[in-house]
Amino acid sequence: MVIPVRTRGTTEFQGKYPEEQFQFYFRQHWIRLFMPFARMILITAIIATMGYFLVELSFASGTGSRHIVIIMILLIFAIVQLEFLIHFYNHCLYMVVVTDRRIHRIKKTLFITDDQQSIDLWVIQDIVKSQHGIIQNTLRFGSLRVEAQESLLRLHFIPQVGKKYEELMHLREKARHWYIQHQSAHPSGSAPHPTT
């Protein structure tokens, strides 16, 4: 998912410098949610089957024990649904934001993690795209390894990875061109702020 061009440059987010112009953002591919979703469906089907047999066929003797079993089944059902909901929220809270100046990886979880890693576009030495297997090539997702002088940024499960790779290469060249112009105009070495 890529932000349309009409909204570029106007979006604010945590860690963004005022001089940076927002370009696009993306989250991990939906395939990342497939296994938690499949597990939720499978366990829900098992719970529903168990509930049917325990209630309708009266495997639990007595009304009191039947109510206890039903409460336990409902509790397990609620835990399974909550687990998937946490996976879903974590998926939504993990994103990569690209500006004309930097790549920001914002990694949050619902309760525990709040990390952000940023890398300047003009210091990137190499961007490596990888797609392995039939599933990744068919669904067009993969990984990017962004290498700079002293840092490495690994991005996994990127949707439309080929398109993102091309956009990042283009933005890197624009940032390098701006940086060279800035250095020749300001040889004092002040921090660059590309806005074009």
The number of distinct structural domains making up the chain is: 2
Asked which of 43, 74, 90 is the last residue of a domain, the reply is: 90
Task: Please indicate, yes or no, whether residues 24 and 56 belong to a single structural domain of this protein.
Answer: no
Q: pTM (2 decimals)?
A: 0.76
- Is 100 within a domain? no
Q: Does residue 84 sit in the same domain as residue 136?
A: no
> What residues are paired with 79 via a beta bridge?
none
What domain range is 160 assigned to?
5-9+19-28+120-182
Question: Counting Cβ atoms within 10 Å, is residue 171 exposed (0-12), middle (13-18) or buried (19+)?
Answer: buried
Position 194 scores a pLDDT of 46
Assigned domain for 158 exists: yes
The 3-state DSSP class for residue 134 equals: helix
Position 71 scores a pLDDT of 85
**Domain-terminating residue out of 71, 90, 109:** 90
Q: Looking at residue 178, what is its pLDDT?
A: 83
Same domain? For 24 and 52 the reply is no
At 109 the pLDDT is 83
Which helix (H) or strand (E) segment holds residue 45: the answer is helix 34-56
Q: Could you list the pLDDT tens digit for every one of the 196 residues in the chain? A: 444 444 555 666 666 777 788 899 999 999 999 999 999 999 999 988 887 777 776 554 566 677 787 888 889 999 999 999 999 999 999 999 999 989 999 998 877 888 889 899 999 999 999 999 999 999 999 999 999 888 899 999 999 999 999 999 999 999 988 888 877 776 665 555 544 4
Is 196 a domain residue?
A: no
Q: Does one domain contain both 51 and 81? A: yes
Tell me what pLDDT residue 83 has: 94
In a domain, 62, yes or no: yes
For the chain, the straight-line distance linking the first and the last C-alpha, in angstroms and rounded, comes to: 24
Residues 86 and 135 grouped into a single domain: no
Is 64 a member of any domain? yes
Task: Say if residue 49 is in the same domain as residue 23.
Answer: no
Residue indicated by tokens 């949707």: 159
pLDDT, residue 5, reads 43
54 lies in the same domain as 23 = no
Q: Are residues 136 and 156 in the same domain?
A: yes
Q: Do 157 and 28 form a contact (C-beta atoms < 8 A)?
A: yes
Q: Are residues 124 and 86 in the same domain?
A: no
SS3 content of the chain, % helix, strand, coil (to 5): 50, 25, 25
| pLDDT score, position 54 | 74
- For residue 155, CA distances in Å to 90, 96, 168, 186, 194 come to 16, 8, 13, 34, 24
